[in-house]
């Protein structure tokens, strides 16, 4: 399989040709992938499309996390 160069969260990442967004989330060890929003080349991807969207050379991907708040740490 040929290798693709992506930009994930601002960093250069190499991945296999045809890798899907779902697989990328796993590969990149995204925390709680079922909660992550994904932006692909400037557009927010529908969650239903994660498993079927294959990534291409030079695609830019951002993982966007829910951040609410939390109790204090000491």
Partner 1 sequence: MEEVGGSGQKKLLSSKVLIIGTGGLGSPAALYLAAAGVGTIGIIDNDRVDLTNLQRQIIHHTDDIGKEKVNSARDKIRAINPDVTVQTYKTRATSKNISEIIRRYDFVIDGTDNFPAKFLVNDACYFEQVPFSHAGVLRFFGQLMTILPGESTCYRCVFHSPPPAGVVPSCSQAGVLGALAGVIGSLQATEAIKYLLGAGDLLTNTLLTYDALKMEFRKIRLNRNPNCPLCGRNPQITELRDEQQSVCDSKTK
Class of residue 51 by CB neighbours under 10 A (exposed 0-12, middle 13-18, buried 19+): exposed
| 10 near partner 1, rule: CB under 8 A | yes
- Maximum distance among all alpha carbons in the chain? 49
Q: How far is the CB of 8 from partner 1 (least distance, A)?
A: 12
Q: Tell whether residue 34 is a contact of partner 1 (CB under 8 A).
A: yes
Dihedral pair phi/psi, residue 58, rounded to 5°: 65, 15
Q: Which stretch binds partner 1 (CB under 8 A): 16-24, 33-41, 50-58?
A: 33-41
Residue number, 49 or 57, with CB nearest to partner 1:
49
């Amino acid at each position: 399989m040929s290798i693709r160069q992506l930009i994930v969260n601002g960093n250069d990442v190499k991945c296999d040709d045809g890798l899907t967004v779902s697989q990328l989330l796993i590969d990149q060890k995204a925390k709680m992938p079922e909660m992550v929003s994904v932006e692909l080349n400037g557009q927010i991807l529908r969650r239903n499309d994660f498993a079927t969207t294959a990534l291409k050379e030079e695609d830019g991907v951002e993982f966007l996390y829910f951040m609410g708040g939390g109790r204090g740490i000491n």
